[in-house]
Amino acid sequence: MGMFDFLKDVGTSLFGGGKNEAEEIKKLLEKDLSGRIENLEVAFDDGVVTLSGKCDSDATREKAILLAGNVKGVERVDDQNLTAPAPEEETEFYTVKRGDSLSKIAKFYYGNAMKYPVIFEANREVIKDPDLIYPGQVLRIPKIAK
């Protein structure tokens, strides 16, 4: 798809102690998306993460992008070499704003705040607790039947 932009100064703190940023992001993806990306390669250069490999689904590709992009210190993710089967339908992305909650986002997209579990499930690897989202975090918003 190309380049995805993220807020560089927000997200999961992953880097520290002079460790290899690319290796840390790769470990995160392998842990949270275990077995769903073949031949995963990660490069990191000046805030830009480049991902390559073959994903088992488009949802996995999107989650890999979000996991890498929602890391503090990352401002862009290049996924041009991260392949996946064609998506069944296009997913929207939403950047969390101050005061947002999953139920508020669900109300906006689905007209029903109680549909927040749909967003949580679509982002389970990115959101560990549905009550803990933060401004600047990017989430997948799946389409649901009306």
Q: In what order do the strands lie in the sheet with 3-5?
A: 3-5, 76-83, 48-55, 37-45
Residues 10 and 77 in one domain: yes
In a domain? residue 104: yes
Q: What is the mean pLDDT of residues 22-32?
A: 94
- Bridge partners (DSSP) of residue 138 are 95
Q: Are strands 76-83 and 48-55 parallel, antiparallel or unpaired?
A: parallel
Digit-coded pLDDT (tens) for 41-60 = 999 999 999 999 999 999 99
Give residue 131's domain range. Answer: 92-141
- The pTM of the full predicted model, rounded to 2 decimals, is 0.83
Q: Tell me how long the chain is.
A: 146
Residues 73 and 126 in one domain: no
Task: Give residue 52's pLDDT.
Answer: 97
